[in-house]
Amino acid sequence: MDKDMKILIVDDFSTMRRIVKNLLRDLGFTNTSEADDGITALPMLKTGKFDFLVTDWNMPGMQGIDLLKAVRADPELSSLPVLMVTAESKKEQIIEAAQAGVNGYVVKPFTAATLKEKIDKIFERIEAA
């Protein structure tokens, strides 16, 4: 796994973005950018050559699930690994995200260990494929 990979963190709450950013830095990932919803994230993804997307679900403007669907529908971005970090914890929502092609799903509140485990798993699968 490349520690220099470019990561976009999307969450409408700046505190949560800070927490995720700090956790990622603890894990060795320092090349991060932030966006506060899908509408701001999508153009950044299209031009920014990101390697990994970490997104919340519930955001004003464009929600995370719609951002995920837009990423998968875009031929340039369709293979971008996406980790959803969200408080949405209903069965049908998780199934919806899985069907939309999410690579990992972390429910809030979460721990640093959970985040690390999910990121490791996502990149293990990608490297094995």
Partner 1 sequence: MSTEAAVAEIQEPTDIRLSLAQSLVTNLEQGNTAAVEQLINDLASQQESALFQEVGKLTRQLHDSLAIFGMDDRFPDLAENRIPNAKERLNYVIEKTEESAHRTLNAVEEALPIAHELEENGSNMRQDWAKFTRREMNAEEFRQMSKRIETFLESVETDAKQLNQGLSDVMMAQDFQDITGQIIRQVIELVQEMQDGLVTVIRNTGSSSKSSNEDNKKNITAEGPQVNQEDNPDVMSGQDEVDDLLSSLGF
Residue 29 CB contacts under 8 Å (≥ 6 apart), including other chains: 3, 5, 7
What is the rounded distance in angstroms from the CA atom of residue 105 to the CA atom of residue 117? 11
Listed residue (34, 39, 26) closest to 6, CA to CA: 34
Give the interface segment with partner 1, choosing from 35-43, 45-53, 68-76, 92-100 (CB under 8 A).
92-100
Q: How far is CA 65 from CA 31, 38, 94, 99, 118, in A?
A: 24, 9, 10, 11, 18
Q: What are phi and psi of 41, to 5 degrees?
A: -70, -40
Among 31, 33, 40, 93, binds partner 1 (CB under 8 A): 93
Nearer to partner 1, 50 or 57 (CB): 57
- Least separation in angstroms between residue 49's CB and partner 1 is 27
37 is a site residue for partner 1 (CB under 8 A): no
- Least separation in angstroms between residue 48's CB and partner 1 is 24
Among 31, 33, 40, 58, binds partner 1 (CB under 8 A): 58
What is the rounded distance in angstroms from the CA atom of residue 123 to the CA atom of residue 64? 21
Neighbours of 72 (CB within 10 A): 15
Nearer to partner 1, 51 or 66 (CB): 66
72 is a site residue for partner 1 (CB under 8 A): no
- Least separation in angstroms between residue 30's CB and partner 1 is 16
Contacting residues toward partner 1, per CB under 8 A: 11, 13, 15-16, 18-19, 22, 26, 56-59, 63-65, 87-96, 98, 105-112, 114
